[in-house]
């Protein structure tokens, strides 16, 4: 059985649909481009020229790759964010994200979305920076949490999606304990650099809202992946 489903289109729409206390957030409706935004004056981070762009051609992941825990390092203009990826608990997700990372899919991409009220996440993984970009394949949900308060605690790395079993490349970093429907694959936990995400969050959202482009631009310059020792 093919564990990775090839999409007809070359991109997927990854949606983080959240309903908590009448709050509903959807990436597909959040499509504000950030190509012309330069918010690095008085910055917490180094200046970046990264803009949204078409995704590079992504290789189809090898479903037979080793199911092992890995360490991902996001090298950003704000510093390194390091997390342990749960290759044993979420094998397909880690295989796919490892393949994308090693193929350069995430290089020179923006973390395009920040939420700061009730839901506390920084969203990354879309080269287009519109909320609608992704690879030409999808795969099933894994390692979904138990229904409970703060089921996505600070430091969680989870996948965004457009419904059940539609994971692609977009993921979010939880920077403060958050309660969500248990619909988003948990595939990692931050071990270093959560303070960076918190500082980006503290700077707020462009326009002063609670869901949108981070006021402090944060770009992923490259991603390194190695087996967790």
Structural domain includes residue 187: yes
Which of 4-13, 73-82, 138-147 shows the lowest per-residue confidence on average (mean pLDDT)?
4-13
Residue 61 falls inside a structural domain? no
Here the tokens at position 87 are 């290759």
The number of distinct structural domains making up the chain is 1
**What pLDDT digit, counting tens, does each position of 84-130 carry?**
999 999 999 999 999 999 999 999 999 999 999 999 999 999 999 99
Instruction: Decide: 17 and 28 in contact? Cβ < 8 Å.
Output: no
Round to whole Å and give the CA distance between 66 and 54: 30
Query: Could you tell me the pLDDT band of residue 188, with boundaries at 50, 70 and 90?
Result: very high
Question: Is 153 among the domain residues?
Answer: yes
**Can you give the CATH number for the domain in which 135 is found?**
2.40.100.10
pLDDT reported for residue 17: 41
Integer Cα distance of 116 and 135 in angstroms: 27
Which of 143, 142, 109 lies closest to 123, judged by CA? Answer: 109
Asked whether residue 48 is assigned to any structural domain, the reply reads no
Residue 32's pLDDT is what?
33
Q: Could you tell me if residue 176 is inside a domain?
A: yes
Domain membership of residue 33 (yes or no) is no
Q: Is 179 exposed, middle or buried (0-12, 13-18, 19+ CB in 10 A)?
A: middle
Residue-number span of the structural domain to which 122 is assigned? 4-21+70-227
Share of the chain above pLDDT 90, in %: 78
Is residue 223 situated within a structural domain?
yes
- Assess if residue 44 is contained within a domain: no
């Amino acid at each position: 059985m093919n564990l990775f489903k090839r999409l007809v289109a070359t991109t997927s729409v990854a949606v983080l649909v959240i309903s908590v206390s009448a709050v509903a957030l959807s990436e597909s409706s959040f499509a504000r481009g950030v190509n012309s935004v330069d918010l690095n004056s008085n910055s917490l981070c180094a200046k970046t020229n990264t803009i949204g762009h078409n995704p590079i051609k992504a290789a189809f992941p090898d479903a037979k790759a080793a199911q092992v825990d890995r360490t991902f390092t996001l090298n950003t203009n704000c510093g390194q964010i390091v997390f342990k990826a749960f290759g044993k608990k979420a094998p397909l997700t880690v295989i796919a994200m490892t393949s994308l990372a090693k193929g350069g899919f995430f290089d020179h991409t923006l973390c395009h979305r920040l939420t700061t009220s009730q839901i506390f996440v920084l969203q990354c993984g879309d080269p287009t920076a519109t909320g609608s970009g992704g690879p030409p394949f999808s795969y099933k949900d894994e390692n979904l949490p138990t229904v409970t308060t703060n089921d996505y605690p600070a430091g969680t790395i989870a996948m965004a999606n457009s419904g059940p079993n539609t994971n692609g490349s977009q993921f979010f970093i939880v920077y403060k304990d958050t309660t969500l429907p248990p619909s988003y694959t948990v595939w990692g936990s931050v071990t270093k650099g959560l303070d960076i995400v918190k500082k980006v969050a503290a700077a707020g959202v462009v326009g002063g809202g609670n869901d949108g482009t981070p006021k402090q631009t944060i770009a992923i310059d490259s991603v390194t992946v190695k087996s967790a020792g």
